[in-house]
């Protein structure tokens, strides 16, 4: 009856990260942190979890002399988000 929700995306912060990245080519750590209001430590842990399963890719570099971490949603991540939304709709059939 109900489709299984991806437990990795069912976390509020991880779902927020993937949702943000779904609307942009890439976003840097500071941008994601500002939108989610997450602490640096928590955001870093959640981004690491998403990267380990292949939902996002991380690029580290510099903007001028300042370190910069940029994240992008992978095809695997796009597919996982689509499946998550589809599964969520099974819980809300009238929407």
- The CATH number that applies at residue 30 is 1.10.10.10
Domain count, the chain: 1
Q: Which residue has the tokens 């009238």?
A: 94
Is 20 within the bounds of a domain? yes
Range(s) of the domain holding residue 39: 12-91
d(CA 65, CA 61): 9
pTM of the prediction?
A: 0.91
Is 59 within the bounds of a domain? yes
Q: Are 95 and 6 in contact (CB under 8 A)?
A: no
Is 69 within the bounds of a domain? yes
Number of residues assigned to the chain: 95
Is 5 within the bounds of a domain? no
**Using 50, 70 and 90 to split pLDDT, how confident is the model at 94?**
confident
> How confident is the model over 33-57, as pLDDT tens digits?
999 999 999 999 999 999 999 999 9
Is 3 within the bounds of a domain? no
Is 1 within the bounds of a domain? no
63-71 mean pLDDT: 93
């Amino acid at each position: 009856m109900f489709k299984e929700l991806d437990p990795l995306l069912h976390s509020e912060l991880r779902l927020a990260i993937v949702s943000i990245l779904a609307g942009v080519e890439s976003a840097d750590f500071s941008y994601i942190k500002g939108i989610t209001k997450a602490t640096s430590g928590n955001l870093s842990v959640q981004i690491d979890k998403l990267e380990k399963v292949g939902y996002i890719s991380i690029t580290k570099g510099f903007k001028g002399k300042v370190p910069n971490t940029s994240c992008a949603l992978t095809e695997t991540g796009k597919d996982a988000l689509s499946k998550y939304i589809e599964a969520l709709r099974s819980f809300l059939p009238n929407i």
